[in-house]
């Protein structure tokens, strides 16, 4: 499937160690001809860390996509009524946002975008990146995996010896995972 002309939302949440790889994939999506609207959670748009400055990421997103990132809940809400995204990706998705999404909490622009998009019965793809995936968040991941219209970028343990509960998505599988989700399929194998 070609992504040329597809309207894709990319919502960044605060897994900052994943941003470098996420931005590599963001560029690939634009090169494929997709129209990409980025959205940032409050943490993602405001936290400076050893992985970089928040405003640099926001500026890079605009430069790469040519569209101003969505940074507020009021600016994310129209994603519902406008119904103009083919797919939305939480890329990366923190344990915090997974837990909130699974429990119907909508207190960041990324989660507002997810709620607004799901109301339109369209695919939401999740790229998990969290140290508690096999711990307290396992139940939430399981709940989301069995929810209509929700798909996952394949993921696995990244450091079983030192971080036994940590799991992270293979961000390089963004494009095939999007293509599958747009056809209503979970890209397999999902655990790898």
Ligand X SMILES: Cc1cc2nc3c(=O)[nH]c(=O)nc-3n(C[C@H](O)[C@H](O)[C@H](O)COP(=O)(O)O)c2cc1C
Task: Annotate each residue in 165-184 with x if it binds ligand X (CB under 6 A) or - if it does not, as one string.
Answer: --------------------
Please list, in sequence order, all residues whose beta carbon lies within 8 angstroms of the beta carbon of residue 178, skipping any fewer than 6 positions away. 3, 6, 8, 29, 87, 89, 125
Q: Which is nearer to ligand X, 86 or 96 (CB)?
A: 96
- Give yes or no for residue 1 binding ligand X (CB under 6 A): no
**C-alpha of 185 from chain center:** 17
Q: Is 114 in the site for ligand X (CB under 6 A)?
A: no
Q: Which is nearer to ligand X, 3 or 113 (CB)?
A: 113
Give the integer Cα–Cα distance in Å for 55 and 179.
Answer: 30
E strand spans, 13-104: 35-40, 87-93
Count of all residues that appear for the chain in the document: 192
Site for ligand X in 19-58 (CB under 6 A): 41-44, 47, 49, 51
Q: To the nearest whole angstrom, how small is the minimum distance from the Cβ of residue 12 to ligand X?
A: 8
**Interface with ligand X (CB under 6 A):** 13-17, 41-44, 47, 49, 51, 94-97, 108, 129-130
């Amino acid at each position: 499937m070609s992504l040329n002309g597809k309207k894709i939302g990319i919502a960044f949440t605060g897994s900052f160690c994943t941003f470098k790889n996420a931005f590599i994939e963001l560029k690939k999506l634009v090169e494929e001809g997709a129209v990409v609207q980025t959205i940032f959670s409050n943490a993602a748009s405001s936290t400076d860390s050893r992985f970089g400055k928040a405003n640099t990421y926001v500026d890079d997103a605009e430069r790469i996509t040519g569209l101003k990132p969505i940074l507020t809940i009021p600016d994310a809400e129209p994603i519902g009524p406008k119904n103009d995204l083919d797919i939305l990706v939480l890329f990366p998705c923190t344990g915090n946002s997974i837990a909130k999404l699974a429990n119907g909490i909508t207190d960041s622009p990324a989660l507002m975008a997810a709620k607004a998009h799901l109301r339109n019965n369209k695919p939401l793809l999740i790229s998990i990146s969290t140290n508690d995936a096999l711990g307290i968040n396992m139940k939430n991941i399981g709940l989301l995996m069995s929810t209509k219209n929700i798909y996952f970028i394949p993921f696995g343990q990244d450091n079983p010896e030192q971080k036994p509960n940590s799991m992270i998505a293979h961000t390089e599988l963004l494009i095939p995972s999007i293509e599958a989700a747009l056809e209503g399929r979970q890209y397999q194998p999902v655990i790898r």
